[in-house]
Structure 1
Amino acid sequence: MALSEPNDRPAFEVVVIGEYYFDMIFRGLPGAPTIGTDIWAKEFDWLPGASFSTALAFARLGTRAGWWCTFGNDMFSRMIVDEARREGIPTDLFQMVDRPLRRVSAAFSLSHDRGFMSYSEEPEGLIAREELRRLKPRVLLLQGFSLDPERLALIEEARSLGVLVCSDCQHIDMTLDTPSVREALSSIDVFLPNAKEAVDLTGAADVEGALALLSELCPTVVVKCGEEGAIAMHEGRRYAVSALAVEVFDTTGAGDCFNAGFVHGLLSEPDFASALEIGVICGSLAVTGYGGRNLPYLDDIPKYRRARAPV
């Protein structure tokens, strides 16, 4: 995997493109919500979510990351921007519009997984290709996966600049048989689905089969496997890193935090296995508190490396 050399030290090593969500998290539920019944949570909190978690993880790890995100004049946008400033997340790439731009999600967090009910005022916009050329980060990290022509053109532009393109998956209604999906995956340098997304996308019988199919299309594939850690294929070699032994509190945002830790590792670590390990550490610690807030700082990483059991 070739990362562009930071000869002129770009303003941002990473540009993150993705939405914010105002997450309302309900814990201690007797089960998942069903039509016609009322259930009560024992605990509740609200937190900035989605790509906020990724930006926060980068900030704590000391990676210079710019977050391209659009905010409106509504109270949810204002609260997220205020929280970003408090956490030391750079706001240079925030796009402010004079209209409501609400993105809200209600999460029901169970011991083994979580679900969401979400609303977004409008889709997130993409950074202009001219702006990407000006910034020229070493990595472009995209939230989610789509076949949007504007997004595909941005990916092509990034790769022409020598920018490494990493893409999350998120829940999509596509398979490898959907027209243009294989071509879109082949245009990405690093694909970062979770286990369910990988299996659903490929139709494979299990996560190992999904990893094999995806790695035929994308040079580097990393599959996030929750409490089992992560597996990956990179330059024809399989990697596996086990998760930290932690008590799961809330899994909301764990994948977003993993992505930041992994990309931080690509930029700072001597090898791929070490980068994958930092991703797993961040993902593991994210589930120990609400919405991925229990994230490590750079100085914390060595002690968690010592604590992690080998695969």
Structure 2
Amino acid sequence: MALSEARDHSAFDVVVIGEYYFDLIFRGLPGVPTIGTDIWAEEFDWLAGASFSTALALARLGTRAGWWCTFGNDIFSRMIIEEARREGMPTELFQMVDRPVRRVSAAFSLSHDRGFVSYSEEPERLMPREALRQLKPRVLLLQGFSLDAERQALIEEARSVGILVCSDCQHIDMTLDTPSMREALSRIDVFLPNAKEAMDLTGAADVDGALAALSPFCPTVVVKCGGDGAVAMHEGRRYAVPALPVEVFDTTGAGDCFNAGFVHGRLNEPDFEAALEIGVICGSLAVTGYGGRNLPYLDDIKKYRRANAPV
């Protein structure tokens, strides 16, 4: 059953909680930057990144998504807000403070992967539990992962009122043996690591091993595999969807765009595999331009469905 059949009284279908990053993207490098060496990029652009990409992708797909993010009085915050308004994204949940909240990443983008040098003025503040209860979206989508007590309390609040909790991973320095890790995973409805994160977290030698190790603790595990698409375990069944055959331009933001497509699919599609496919379509199209800006609109999805299924 599509989650949209469950209830329809919330102002937002999805609440995204996560920080913005002002991404400086250097493309066409001869190799990975090293100490004592100057290298030159062939191309450069700046883009709003991190949870901005997720919120933008949801907006383009027609999903009512509120983005909870803190912005300051610095130039980076102002430029991100202006970009959000140009894209017609809802801004009601933007949290404004009268101080700098600079979050910047310099991305070196290679043909097969990318790396970052990043700076954040302060960690993102979570939404108060009372606000989440009042908004009562169908889905809570959390950027990153932590064992922070405040975050765990927010997840418990969401679960208590029937909100589906989805969380990605983002290179955490923990394993399944970290105290409280398994309990924290069991509180999440959908866990969305990429292949490296899943293998690092579990110590598994391959994606299937990582999927098998994570599945006993989380009802739904989706592993993003880049050019190999995605694999998932949902209600005891394994799913796999291949990536689209696209020319890779820049992989920055692909995982954030996948998350949005998958959540949109869970809200609107009649079965899990169709939702996974939409996630893969969004992630695949994201790498064809800078920083995920080649995101599809709802009408674009139809062209890439394997059976031309209705959206």
When the two structures are superposed, what TM-score results if normalisation uses the length of structure 2? 0.97
1:68 aligned onto 2:58: no
SS in 2 for 1:56: helix
CA distance in 2, matches of 1:291, 1:2: 30
Q: Deviations over 1:229-277 (max 9, x none)?
A: 0000000000000000000000000000000000000000010000000
Quote how far apart the aligned CAs of 1:3 are: 4.1
**Residue 303 of structure 1 aligns with which residue?**
303
Q: Deviations over 1:95-148 (max 9, x none)?
A: 000000000000000000000000000000000000001100000000000000
Maintained 8 Å contact 1:3/1:162: no
Kindly report the root-mean-square deviation, in angstroms, between the aligned alpha carbons of the 2 structures.
Answer: 1.3
CA distance in 2, matches of 1:124, 1:2: 31
**Residue 150 of structure 1 aligns with which residue?**
150
SS in 2 for 1:291: helix
CA distance in 2, matches of 1:180, 1:274: 33
**Residue 162 of structure 2 aligns with which residue?**
162
CA distance in 2, matches of 1:146, 1:139: 19
Maintained 8 Å contact 2:2/2:266: no
Quote how far apart the aligned CAs of 1:12 are: 0.2
**Residue 59 of structure 1 aligns with which residue?**
59
Report matched runs for 1:12-91 at 5 Å.
Answer: 12-91=12-91
Task: Rate the CA distance shift 1:181–1:10 in 2: closer, same or farther, 3 A.
Answer: same
User: Partner letter of residue 236 of structure 1?
Assistant: G
User: Partner letter of residue 96 of structure 1?
Assistant: M
CA distance in 1, matches of 2:151, 2:287: 31
Quote how far apart the aligned CAs of 1:7 are: 3.3
Maintained 8 Å contact 1:285/1:295: yes
CA distance in 1, matches of 2:2, 2:171: 28
Maintained 8 Å contact 1:199/1:207: yes
Quote how far apart the aligned CAs of 1:305 are: 1.1
Maintained 8 Å contact 1:49/1:291: yes
CA distance in 1, matches of 2:101, 2:56: 21
**Residue 188 of structure 1 aligns with which residue?**
188
Maintained 8 Å contact 1:4/1:162: no
CA distance in 1, matches of 2:6, 2:68: 21
CA distance in 2, matches of 1:4, 1:127: 23
**Residue 99 of structure 1 aligns with which residue?**
99
Spell out structure 1 runs of 4+ moving beyond 2 A.
Answer: 1-9
CA distance in 1, matches of 2:182, 2:270: 31
**Residue 212 of structure 1 aligns with which residue?**
212
CA distance in 2, matches of 1:4, 1:161: 16
CA distance in 2, matches of 1:205, 1:220: 21
Q: Which runs of 5+ in 1 are unaligned?
A: none
Between the two proteins, the alignment pairs up a number of residues equal to 308
CA distance in 2, matches of 1:207, 1:11: 37
SS in 1 for 2:258: helix
**Residue 138 of structure 1 aligns with which residue?**
138
1:237 aligned onto 2:227: no
SS in 1 for 2:305: helix
CA distance in 2, matches of 1:8, 1:286: 29
**Residue 254 of structure 2 aligns with which residue?**
254
CA distance in 1, matches of 2:208, 2:263: 22
CA distance in 1, matches of 2:5, 2:97: 35
CA distance in 1, matches of 2:307, 2:133: 41
Maintained 8 Å contact 1:244/1:281: yes
CA distance in 1, matches of 2:274, 2:307: 14
Maintained 8 Å contact 2:29/2:42: yes
CA distance in 2, matches of 1:18, 1:307: 34
Task: Rate the CA distance shift 1:151–1:273 in 2: closer, same or farther, 3 A.
Answer: same
SS in 2 for 1:85: helix
Quote how far apart the aligned CAs of 1:205 are: 1.1
CA distance in 2, matches of 1:107, 1:279: 23
